[in-house]
Amino acid sequence: MGKRILLLLVILALVFAFYAFDLNQWLSLDKLKGGGEQFQQWQSTFPVLLGVLFFIFYILVTGLSLPGAAILTIAAGAIFGLLWGTLIVSFASSVGATIAFLMARYLFRDYVQERFSTRLKVVNDGVEREGAFYLFALRLVPIFPFFLINILMGLTHLKTWTFYWVSQIGMLAATIVYVNAGTQLVRIENLKDIASPELLLSFALLGIFPLLAKYFINWLKRRRAAG
């Protein structure tokens, strides 16, 4: 119990420090857009260091369940481009999600499972039987916020490795869509740029992606039922 309290205090201290040092200012499009030239300069001068720092910052935000993952994903596209932005975000988001998953499991799972064991039996049985598919569906069509999925899954009996690799695969398509939007957003210099085919296509993908993902999940369910 003492270790859990200590971990909880450490988490609260990190969250407090995050806001105390005003790091949350980087979780807005205005700030990222305003610092575009500076980021590009750092990217040209210290590409590896900037990539590592961004990777760590992304893990910090997602691991502590702080808001801003979507903004950071768009920023990755603006700073690193589609390929490297996708690579960095894909692994950082999965690692950060797994950290949040493990912290929720260590801090709260025993209490929740013991307190609500009868009510959770159906959930536990479902996760035991179809946990990977449930998580994949939630990652592909996020009905709940990103951080909430991490915490809720941490309260179940889903294996850590399963959580990680399903998250890695399930979030990849959305990551590519958001990173690609970031590569176009950084190019906006005037009103004419807003009407460019590339930018319009990027935002169209943002809009239709949830519909396509939902259709794919329904198709996958039908295939599984038929098989």
pLDDT in tens, 115-160: 777 767 766 777 777 778 888 888 887 777 888 889 989 988 899 9
pLDDT in tens, 25-64: 777 766 666 666 777 788 888 889 999 999 999 999 999 9
102-106, 191-195, 196-200: least confident range? 191-195
**What is the pLDDT at residue 190?**
43
Using CA atoms, how far apart are residues 77 and 13, in angstroms rounded to an integer?
30
Using CA atoms, how far apart are residues 214 and 227, in angstroms rounded to an integer?
20
* 162 membership: H or E segment, kind and range: helix 160-170
pLDDT in tens, 76-113: 988 899 999 999 999 999 999 999 999 999 988 887 77
Residue 188, C-beta contacts closer than 8 angstroms, at least 6 positions apart: 194, 199
**What is the pLDDT at residue 192?**
47
Quick one: pLDDT band at residue 180, thresholds 50, 70, 90?
Answer: confident
Buried/exposed code over 107-142 (b: 16+ C-beta within 10 A; e: otherwise): bbeeebbeeeeeebeebbeebeeebbebbbbbbbbb
Whether the predicted model's global pTM rises above the 0.85 cut = no
